[in-house]
Amino acid sequence: MGFFFVVLFSNTFKQHSPAGINRNFRRMQVLSASLMAFSHGTADAQKSMGVITMALLSYGMIPTFEVPMWVKMACAIAMACGTAAGGWRIIKTVGRDFVKLQPMTGFSVDSAATSVIFGASLFGLPTSTTHVVTSSILGVGLSKRLTAVNWKVAGRILIAWVLTIPAAGIMSAMVYLIFSPFLGQ
């Protein structure tokens, strides 16, 4: 989708000056970034709320599978704090080190990722915002040329994606072994 949006915008505005295009897309990025942030909440926060609510239900803390307001608030706060704490590092890695983005390409990334995430959310499909955005950025880079992508960074991102699931499983097992004696299990 990122590739598609860049090609579409490049062909639509090829008669305009790059400075004027960047100035206008920089303004439009306020809207696209806002929509991206909203779509982020429709994807990632929902998964966290579901897991927490399922744990509360299975432990007998709530009578029905209905997300308590405090869980919604806790997930919203956790997402905001996580984005504020680590978001700039991720943005730097994927927005400068992975593929250098300009206002038009940044708008294309936001538009592509938002479209994919909203589309998946409409069908109740889980998505990873990070994976969708990173894939959109890769598409934008590939729309320029193969060398526009920093393949060393792409390799590090891929390794991190592959290692995340086993690392999460190992951490979960460790937490379970540490806390299960205190929970009567």
Residue 185 clears pLDDT 60, i.e. is over it: no
d(Cα 64, Cα 66) in Å, to the nearest integer? 6
Interval 92-121 mean pLDDT: 86
pLDDT in tens, 144-178: 888 888 899 889 889 988 898 899 999 999 999 99
Interval 36-57 mean pLDDT: 86
Q: Which of 20, 25, 11 is nearest to 103 (CA)?
A: 25
Q: How confident is the model at residue 16 (pLDDT cuts 50, 70, 90)?
A: confident
| Residue whose tokens read 């929509």 | 35
- pTM flag (> 0.85): no
For residue 115, give both structure tokens. 């479209």
If DSSP codes are grouped into helix, strand and coil, which group holds residue 149? Answer: strand
Query: What residues are paired with 99 via a beta bridge?
Result: 149
pLDDT in tens, 47-100: 889 899 999 999 899 999 999 999 999 988 888 888 788 777 777 777 778 888
Interval 34-59 mean pLDDT: 87
Q: How high is the mean pLDDT of the chain?
A: 87
For residue 94, give both structure tokens. 């994927």
* Sign of CA pseudo-dihedral 66, 69, 75, 79: positive
In the chain, what are the helix, strand and coil shares in percent, each to the nearest 5? 85, 0, 15
* Contact indicator for 140, 109 with CB cutoff of 8 Å: yes
